[in-house]
Structure 1
Amino acid sequence: MAEERKQQPERRPPSARLTRRALIFVAVGAVLAAVASFVVAGFEGSSDGDGDTGRRVAPTGAVAGEAFGTAAAGDCLTWTALDASDLTKVDCEQTHLFEVVADIDLSNYPGAEWGPGSRFPSVMRFTALRDELCVPAAMDYLESRFDPVGKFSVGLINPGEAGWAAGERTLRCGLQFSSTTGNLLPIQGRVADQDQSRAWDVGVCIGINNGIPADPVDCAKPHAFEVVATVDLSSQFPEGLPSIEDQDRYLEETCTRLVGEYLGDPQALRNKTLTLFWDNLGYDSWLAGSRKVNCSIGKQVEGGGFASITGSAKGDILIDGQPPVAPEPLPEGRSLPSPLPGAFPLPGR
């Protein structure tokens, strides 16, 4: 493969494999950032002790309410207010934002850090508590069937600065569905009963921010890529986790066929100068029961990242504000187009 790539022009986008790896790292990084912000975003900001004050919102009073005060493992919580002041319990089959996996009373832990009159912890301290206390609790709650790079992430709700000052030391650890930029998306049903694959629905367009994928948007708005198919790998690999190489061989052929069906023309992808790429599943994801991956199309740019696309690829599109210019037609007698930059060659080529 390395020798084949050396024969390609130097001025070309990064490979599809590198792109999808980058997407994974972007998503994971965003989730971690989301956790750090959500610890206080729904409640009150705090100072880290160096004069740097975090994002501040009005006191919620949620800690004084029955929902927060009585939430235990298995309860589902939701809210609509920016400050989460209307936090309530709902049936988990209803739309919600947070499934509680544990309630933790820090006053049971030794040390002056949690004692009467102690200072409200910083965002980074709450993030550390999430890692130390909530992640293990989530693993226990799901009986170790948790996909660390899947659809759901581990979050933490603290009692708020006012509640802390009043002596409240309880935390609520839970599972949430975070978008790439950290916004919480609705969940319906218990996490244990769902496929945790981080696979978007067909037709979803993922927005763009400075060349990096963002949150789902209407395809008429600028976006990084469009999801054209969802593939269940268990249908092809029923006996266990396939290697990345086996996944790639299967997904190149399958995604190529599905994108042609989605666009209504097997030459449309090439004519619109778009790139096909797909996701892979790792051992931890497979162990947790994740089986689905996306086939998506976008426009890679030199140096990494994505061009901005406006419009669904099913119709007319603009790439960075300009209509794409179709390449020269393929020579007669060729039944398949040349692999797009970064795509792996099909067997026999």
Structure 2
Amino acid sequence: MPDRRDTRGRDLERASAPKTLSATKLRWGLLIAALGAILAATVTMTVAGFDTDKVEAHQPGAAPVVRDKEFSSAAQGDCLTWSKPDRSDLVKVNCADKHLFEVAGVIDLSAYPGREFAEGTRHPDSLRMTELRDEHCVTAVQKYLGGRFDPRGKFMVNVMSPSPAGWQHGDRTLRCGVQVAATTASPATTGSLVDSDQSKVNAVGTCLGINQNLPTDPVDCAQPHSVEIVGTVDLSTNFTGGPPSESEQDKFVEAECNRLSGDYLGSPDAIRNKTLTLFFDYLEPASWLAGSHKLDCWLGKGADREGFATVVGSARGEILIDGQAPVPPPNSGRSTPAPLPGAAPLPPQPQPR
């Protein structure tokens, strides 16, 4: 298999000319962005169900602290939410309402072999919690969804643990589940994952932020960003049955994204005049079989270095690319230089017959 980093690098060097990049040109960048989201979420949530610095120590023999009651009674299919940074106001809510975490399974560490989680042991650190997530929660989520979890979709697998106070009191249960994948704090979602479309798509008009030349979470388009969503393509309108091949997807999605971008911008020449590039990805078989059938059409610009240039402003209006206003290329493909002061007038240009 060719090195996609090299392929993508060469393509993005040529991205100053307006064009559409097919799936293979974008996929490596999306993979890096997805890995970044997972790593960031690992830091922000898998350490524990609660902020370990803001929960007081629990005295042996006392009743369990109130803040753990909702967590400790959460079962498969329950949805949880909170508003405080330390998650001390965690509550169970109807999954139809906004929530931050859906429980897919409960893991009892007291049944774990050995004495690692026995009475009197310390709360696992973030590295161990990440290992426990990978050991137990990926399987739990797949089982919860009947094997139909999209590993590159809108949601990611995660784990919550008792607070340090609850742990000291003897609670050894983990909650495996899912949350919206994000590079910072996960946004709320509505509806159970069991009934949700897992396609990783955004509302048309959304702009994705930029960090180290790669897309991040949605931001206001007036802020620095990498790409703008100009349309969403539903591949199930054209393909039925098994997963379509990459070449079949490319042909269909490219045509649809070109049409949708023209509708979004109001002119088929707008992409060219703004020196932007249309990007789209590809649905892998695992995503297709999990029920994800939609892809976003992204409008951005490849950077001179690998990745995306920084855009400010919506492509529907005035934009800056890396701090500069775009200069539309001449229609003829060549520009006529302005005459030097005092030079003789340029000869008249031949007129078309």
Q: 1:111 is matched by which residue type in structure 2?
A: G
Higher relative contact order (CA 8 A, sep 6+): 2
Counterpart selection for 1:140 from 128, 143, 147: 143
> 1:22 maps to what in 2?
29
Is it true that 1:85 corresponds to 2:81 in the alignment?
A: no
**Alpha-carbon spacing, 1:107–1:211, altered in 2? closer, same or farther (3 Å):** same
Query: Is 1:314 matched with 2:321?
Result: no
Runs (5+) with no aligned partner, structure 1: 46-56, 332-349
1:187 to 185, 189, 201: 189
2:55 aligned residue: 59
Please report the RMSD computed on the Cα atoms of aligned residues, expressed in angstroms: 2.3
Letter of the aligned partner of 1:20 in structure 2? R
Partner Cα separation in structure 2 for residue 38 and residue 183 of structure 1:
9
Aligned residue number for residue 347 of structure 2: none
Matched-pair contact (CA < 8 Å) for 1:13–1:300: yes
The secondary structure found in structure 2 opposite 1:112 is coil
Alignment map for 1:102-181 (pairs within 5 Å): 102-179=105-182, 181=183
Structure 1 partner of 2:299: 297
AA at the equivalent of 1:264: G
In structure 1, distance between residues paired with 2:69 and 2:11: 64
1:209 lines up with 2:214 in the alignment: no
Distance in 2, matches of 1:36 and 1:144, equals 26
SS in 1 for 2:120: coil
1:293-313: per-residue Cα shift (whole Å, max 9, x none)?
000100111231111111110
**C-alpha distance 279-257 of structure 1, shift in aligned 2 (>3 A):** same
Q: Secondary structure at the match of 2:315?
A: coil
1:59 Cα offset (Å):
1.4
The structure-2 alpha-carbon separation of the partners of 1:42 and 1:13, relative to structure 1 and needing over 3 Å to count, comes to farther
Identity %: 50
Q: For residues 124 and 222 of structure 1, what CA distance do their matches in structure 2 show? A: 33
Residue deviations 1:129-164, cap 9 Å, x none?
111111111111101111011001111111122222
Return the alpha-carbon distance in structure 1 between the equivalents of residues 49 and 168 of structure 2.
17
Structure 1 residues 251-266: aligned runs within 5 Å: 251-266=253-268
Deviations 1:12-34 (A, max 9, x none): 34965333331133213422441
Residue identity in the other structure for 1:174: G
Counterpart in 2 of 1:237?
A: 239
* Other structure's SS at 1:95 match: coil
Tell me, which stretches of 5 or more residues in structure 2 are unaligned? 59-64, 334-353
- Greater mean deviation of Cα atoms: 145-154 or 31-40: 31-40
Q: Which has the larger radius of gyration?
A: 2
- Return the TM-score normalized by structure 2: 0.84
- Residue identity opposite 1:283 in structure 2: P
Give the CA deviation at 1:166: 2.3
Q: What is the deviation of 1:9?
A: 9.9
Distance 2:331 2:289 in 1: 45
Q: Is the 8 A contact 2:12 2:307 kept in 1?
A: no
Alpha-carbon distance in 1 for matches of 2:107, 2:190: 25
**Contact 1:63–1:163 (8 Å) recurs in 2:** no
Cα distance in 1, alignment partners of residues 11 and 140 from structure 2: 50
Contact 2:279–2:298, Cα closer than 8 Å, also in 1: yes
